[in-house]
Amino acid sequence: MGSAAGTGQGGKARLVSGLASLALHALAAAGVLAVSGMEPPSVPHGPARLTVVTLKAEARPPAPEPEETVHPRAGGEPRPAAPPILAQAPEQSFAAGPAPALPEAPVAQVRQAPALPPPPPPVRQERAEDGFAAYQQQLWRHIAARRPQGAGLSGEATVRFRLSPAGALLSAEIAGSSGSANLDRIALRTLRLASPMPAPPQGMASERLVFTLPVRFH
Amino acid sequence: MTFSRALCASLLATSCLLPAAALAQDATSLPPVDVESATSGAGEAAPLGGAVVGRDEIRRRQAGTSDTADLLRSVPGVSANTGGGFSSMPAIRGMTEQRLRVTVDGHPIDLSCPNDMNSPLSYTDPQTIQAIRVLAGVAPVSAGGDNIGGVIDVTSARPQFSGQGSTISGELSAFYRSNGDGFGGSARVTVAGENLSATYTGSYTQSENYSGGGNRGVVRSTEFAKTDHALELAAQGGFGLVRLKGGYHFAPYEGFANQAMDMTDNRSWFVNLGYEGEFDFGSVRFTADYRDTDHEMNFLADKLPGAMPMNTEVHTFSAALKLDMPLSARDTLRTGWEYHHQWLNDYWPPVPGSMMMGPNTFVNLNAARRNRLGTFGEWEARWNERLTGVIGVRIDRVSMNSGTVQPYGTGMMNMNDAMAAAAFNAADRERAEVNWSASGIVSYALADGVSLELGYAHKARSPNLYERYSWGRGAMASRMIGWYGDGNGYVGNLNLRPERADTLSAALDAKGEGWSLRIAPYYTHVDDYIDAVFVKKITNMMGMPTPWVQLQFANQQAEFYGVDLSGEVALRRGAGRDGTTLSASLSWLRGQNLSDGGPLYRQMPLNARASLQHRQGPLEAGVELEWVSEKTRVDATRNEPVTAAYALLNLRLGYDLGAVQLSVEALNLLDKAYDLPLGGVSLGDHKATGLLRPVPGRGRSVNLGLSTRF
């Protein structure tokens, strides 16, 4: 009783507010256009959407995505088919300890410049693993700097994603759900917005450009 | 379309969970990224000028007060205007509660009393609050419209879900206060399943009159009792998160030391609905709520004999939709719509046998309505690692109306009111305004750990129902209106214009190894500030002078400026959370009425607090010194009392037994006698003793607290 919303407020009210709303949205839309016109969109539209790709066989060469910018390999360089042991080594030392290797890693407000990644180091077979370890750090910092704001729920979503040799996000999926669809989607969206990532070291085998990242929501 | 796409995406994501896990072996695993939540759950920018008081801090202090606004006094720039024992009205940088947006779990609660006795925060209990977020200075327009002074949002516990199976968790607490024999308790119990969760929160608190410090004696009309209960159901799934919460509040009595009336019954129930969804394009937040309040005023024991029932019924409905759309790692676009409806009846039944208060019901507000429709657009950009900006525009359309009114009678004693009612009923009472607001905030990191925030905002607020539609001009009728605690009479004004404020604010934040410092100056100019101007001196029924005056709400010019300082130094660091910390804050403020050249009412004088906090293993000890300078800048229009400087010493001890946490504290340890600078005058004492004094602050109180979590 008496709670019927807006009883007696005539169409005038709706008209004015409707116009106001329209004007605001036009403004917002103009803003978006201006913004998107100002700089080339960093994330290509179609495929960069959260397409969930089920990776069928690991041995299969990466399905060529329309946008994939494949850097021509340095001439005649042999494919760094690192043995599994070597491939795991940096990962283990990296993932040991509580996120230690990363120098600053302040929790609150890391804001990394979306600057261009430094020019890839010269590809030297013996230094490839060092380069990959450094790249992992660079990649982690790039994503961490673009971390989202949580949604007031706690949980850990592990995302698995694949990058192109240029650092573009080819696919992302949830490898371990947080138990909340909302948190899982925030984690996936974070990756999409962080693309393009820093370019991996040149000559890195595409099979190695697959990563998992736990996103812990507090 | 996008919704269903997102749904498909998530279904796919879940369905390919197993193969993905099998493949995870080959992926290079990166270390975890930790993501902190904004307490509101919405992705709003939290400006440097803001503050969050979290559960740990509240738990530490919940034995000492049942008044949420009182808790907020620890935030630099926030003060509490004295009301009842659980109904202080918070003020941010000199702007009183009526100029703020105060929400509980994001849902607004309206003014529902001519004295603002059941203020929004009176529906919260420190024992069950999860966090309080204060946006001082320049709040982004996405944080809400129809306010010029900032935003206070109280949040209760967020829903919890179990990983698998079902879990039960919760918190129980109880306290006792020696001063006023206050006691209370609370319970929160959450039963959580994987996708469903139910949380019950309940609390009870009561107290007798408290004693002032030193020789001030008992402060009359400060007793209170209330209970709050709420049940929240939450469900999550591919659709997102839905929360449905219903609650009931009952306050059988609450004395008001600085009002002519007391609250003798307040019942309110509400239903809140919330939806949170995450999609490809961004976040969706929808809230809707309905609240029904029945509020009654009369006299409690200290103000007897006599009777004067005054009843207020309020229904409110609001709905809001917010979209948060990250366009790129740099740009985020926010937009939202909000509708708010308030319906209010305020009537004073006749008093049998009274010549003056009869024979009819005094109709103060008759089906008064205040509707607001708002929309905003906001753009946030992280230009680079150092520079962030938020700009936004907002439009709110406020429309108000009120039905015809009537006085108690039309005899000689009611002549002033009878004439005023006739004029009010003849006037066109429908009002509508379109208020626009804008805010712009830039944050710049000058160096590692040093950041500077600059903000500008233009904000507007339309008058509330009582400011616009109170019409009584009789001495008694007008003295029933007002939340100022000054004993004066207030007459509404149909011709009030909305307040429009321009605020410039800055915050310099510096952090180093074991220390931090924040300096936040601000300046606000308010056009059409709703203050009050002199109408006449109030005489009693014999025609003899009284200490009171009758005032009328009027638009004035006003300005506020000041600075808030706060800092912290770690004196010693031990293992884990052990250590000793010294923290201090200071607030200085000037509020000036530019139209009459005098100071504004209820402006907190220079004040500072310093505390030493020591933690060692299960033991936590704290010493706090609170200092407030004399208040000589007083509002002459309202005959605001001058108050002397004072310093209070508080001691706190906490011990964690593992399953149970104990706390013992002594507030105002030295039992210092002092008057509350924002307390107004002690009308309860005046009625009993005939002596008029400012409202004394609470004397020494030893408080015991007990809590357990499971």
> Choosing among A12, A17, A183, which should be mutated to test the B contact, i.e. which has the most B CBs within 10 A?
A17
3-state secondary structure of B271: strand
For residue B305, say if its preceding peptide bond is cis, omega within 30 degrees of 0.
yes
Distance CA B530, CA B463 (A): 8
Kindly report the nearest CA distance between residue B413 and chain A, in angstroms. 34
Chain B residues touching residue A108 (CB < 8 angstroms): 36
Residues 141-200 of chain B with CB under 8 A from chain A are 158-161, 163, 194
Distance CA B203, CA B189 (A): 12
Distance CA A139, CA A145 (A): 10
- Tell me the whole-structure pTM to 2 decimals: 0.83
Alpha carbon B255 to chain centroid distance? 19
Alpha carbon B81 to chain centroid distance? 11
The answer to whether A216 contacts B369, with C-beta atoms less than 8 Å apart, is no
Residue with tokens 């000890």: B621
Chain A residues touching residue B28 (CB < 8 angstroms): 87, 91, 136, 208, 210-212
For the record, the structure tokens of A129 come out as: 């693993």
pLDDT of residue A202: 87
Side-chain-side CA neighbours of residue B205 (13 Å): 33
Tell me if ipTM is over 0.90: no
Provide φ and ψ at B520, rounded to 5°: -135, 95
> Across the interface, which of B14, B240, B333 has its CB nearest the CB of A182?
B240
The answer to whether B335 contacts A94, with C-beta atoms less than 8 Å apart, is no
For residue A62, say if its preceding peptide bond is cis, omega within 30 degrees of 0.
no
According to DSSP, the β-strands at A210-217 and B28-29 are parallel
Cβ neighbours of B616 (radius 10 Å):
15
End-to-end alpha carbon distance in chain A: 42
The answer to whether B27 contacts A5, with C-beta atoms less than 8 Å apart, is no
pLDDT of residue A62: 39
Distance CA A107, CA A110 (A): 7
pLDDT of residue A25: 52
Kindly report the nearest CA distance between residue B396 and chain A, in angstroms. 8
The answer to whether A52 and B13 have CB atoms below 8 angstroms apart is yes
Q: Residue B356: CB partners within 8 Å, gap ≥ 6? A: B408, B409, B413, B414, B476, B541
Provide φ and ψ at B241, rounded to 5°: -130, 130
Cα–Cα nearest to B114, from B250, B261, B226: B261
Chain A residues touching residue B160 (CB < 8 angstroms): 154
> Across the interface, which of B40, B290, B335 has its CB nearest the CB of A25?
B335
Cα–Cα nearest to B438, from B371, B380, B377, B381: B377
Distance CA B482, CA B116 (A): 8
The answer to whether B676 and B699 have CB atoms below 8 angstroms apart is no
Chain B residues touching residue A146 (CB < 8 angstroms): 329
Residues of chain B with pLDDT under 50: 1-24, 39-45
Encode chain A (218 residues) as per-residue pLDDT tens digits: 333 333 334 445 444 444 444 454 544 444 444 444 333 333 333 333 333 433 333 333 434 444 433 343 333 343 433 333 333 333 333 333 333 334 333 333 333 333 344 444 444 555 667 788 899 999 999 999 888 887 888 899 999 999 999 999 999 999 999 999 999 999 999 999 999 999 999 888 888 899 999 999 98
> Choosing among A32, A111, A142, which should be mutated to test the B contact, i.e. which has the most B CBs within 10 A?
A111
The answer to whether B109 and B123 have CB atoms below 8 angstroms apart is yes
Residue B422: its H or E element: helix B415-426
Provide φ and ψ at B342, rounded to 5°: -125, 135
Q: Residue B211: CB partners within 8 Å, gap ≥ 6? A: B179, B180, B217, B218, B219, B698, B699
Provide φ and ψ at B414, rounded to 5°: -110, 20
For chain A, the residue count is 218
The answer to whether B369 contacts A210, with C-beta atoms less than 8 Å apart, is no
Per-residue pLDDT tens for A185-205? 999 999 999 999 999 998 888
For the record, the structure tokens of B546 come out as: 């009284």
Distance CA B166, CA B48 (A): 39
Percent of chain B that is helix, strand, coil (3-state, to 5): 15, 55, 35
